[in-house]
Structure 1
């Protein structure tokens, strides 16, 4: 097999860097979708490459192993056995990490649902620690503690609800989960879960600002909630107070960013390149496998 099968690994090294830079210039909704798509494609293409490398282990098993030392047959040279074994191990570990990540998210959602009964889309938990979180489901709801309600005034509570409902309406949990699973299978994407989590919070901030018509109020509410929850025991995902509050407050002090489709060019180019490289690797793999199987069946 030629270098095409290894290209997804090389591209993964730069996807996160390019996505992080892209996020500085684009509105958060476009940046979040683009970063998630880039992470998903990187994970899928790497999985395909690892699978193809792993399958070459079969050439070490009878009857294929009988042709290993017969160069006169002109069979395509397989990948070294040690490399195929490493690929198989990495793939197995990655799948295990994905399963663990999904189990952790399922347990967190179950625990959050158990904290309060939803009425009209809102559940109030009698907990002194101030936090609020969007709990996805069918239907999803906003979970807020009595501590958070005491902390905020009426206008700030409207910001909080608009923010959390944005998470539910936009299905932000899906983007966060995709980024997490992509990184579980491809550790080279390690900055992506943090980046996507930050971007969906910024997205919800912008939705809250559009709903309330007051960017300064949103910034004040984010800062207030974040200061109150600093160092607390329980800080769930997708809450008003999470993910780089300082940067989010600073962003709300500026006008909303304009949509610049050219800003996604870097991630889009890498995504297309990964898909093309993987496609060429698949074609080559099928051709090589056909040659080996043809020798056995012939």
Structure 2
């Protein structure tokens, strides 16, 4: 355990860069799926390797500590204790951040669901702040749209068609699941933090493209996005999805051009990198198993 257990921790730092490179060469839908899958794989290997490092500290605890003082046994000493303690601390911090994100998600959803009872999948709140969001439903229930009177006054009739098409796309595609995977992965591993923003932006682009197909006018969608973003509220709405969400300028620019077609070869780099991460983690697990067996046989 002197190389392989550290390799996934180092390689995971490249995942956001690879995902960003891939996103410029594929459609938004493919970018979201690729980024979320890569985030889950990188976070999983990160947690696994930190746990392996932390578990090596067990040789300093009874009854294994008695064998630790006998060099004549030739038992393997995989990592220094300070490394094991640092790994345990990093793992604990990551789990604490994950719990915080889950609590925040529940709080935001509770606030948005409390805005009113949906009627036909829509809640119109008499709030001056202009925003509209797709609110995910509880398990087993469909979500609904929450639109404020301020947003309805801001947009004309055609732009409101864009608004509803965009938000319905978020619900239909279950974008909040993809965003949650990225956010929770970034909570566990700080190296993955850029992925959270990348997935949020790509899901908005995905909904923009769905809206453009439904209304048949990309320039109309761009205009609606620009107006909603300039006037939209500043409150943090994740995990709800909003028309005035991530990266409005880049989204408007993208809508001025035809939708990008996916080049699946561009995904191969991310897939190969994730396979390397998983392979290195599998080797680290095998090495840890050998070390654990060497120590545990002394108890027999």
TM-score by length of 2: 0.96
Provide the secondary structure at the position in 1 that maps to 2:147. Answer: strand
Q: Which residue of 1 aligns with 2:58?
A: 58
2:281 equivalent among 270, 278, 281 = 278
Matching of residue 236 in structure 1 with residue 237 in structure 2 = yes
Q: C-alpha separation between the residues in 1 aligned to 2:298 and 2:2?
A: 21
For each residue in 1:4-61, what CA deviation from the matched residue of structure 2 results, as whole angstroms up to 9, or x when unmatched?
A: 1111111111111111111111100001110111111111101000111111111001
1:142 pairs with one of 145, 160, 169:
145
Superposed, 1:190-229 pairs within 5 Å as 190-229=193-232
Say if 2:110 is the partner of 1:114.
no
User: 5+ unaligned residues in a row in structure 1: which ranges?
Assistant: none
Check whether the contact 1:22–1:263 (CA below 8 A) recurs between aligned residues.
yes
Residues of 2 paired with 1:144 and 1:86: CA distance?
A: 47
User: What is aligned with 2:47?
Assistant: 47
RMSD between superposed Cα atoms in Å: 1.1
Report the equivalent of 2:34: 34
Q: 1:91-145 CA deviation, whole Å, 9 max, x = no partner?
A: 1111111011011011101100111221111110000111000000122001000
**Structure 2 residue 159 is the aligned partner of structure 1 residue 156:** yes
Q: Could you report, residue by residue, the CA deviation over 1:59-92 in whole angstroms, capped at 9, with x for unpaired residues?
A: 0012211222433322212311111111111111
Alignment of 1:81-92 (within 5 A): 81-92=81-92
- How far has the Cα of 1:2 moved from its partner? 2.4
Aligned residues: 295
Distance 1:167 1:264, change over 3 A: same
Contact 2:126 2:148 in 1 (8 A): yes
Alignment partner for residue 259 of structure 2, among 248, 256, 259?
Answer: 256
The answer (yes or no) to whether the contact 1:122–1:143 under 8 Å persists in 2 is yes
Q: Cα gap change, 1:210/1:135 in structure 2, threshold over 3 Å: closer, same or farther?
A: same
Unaligned runs of 5+ in 2: none
**Cα pair 1:226 1:241 within 8 Å, conserved:** yes
Residue pair 2:25, 2:262 contacting (<8 A) in 1 also: no
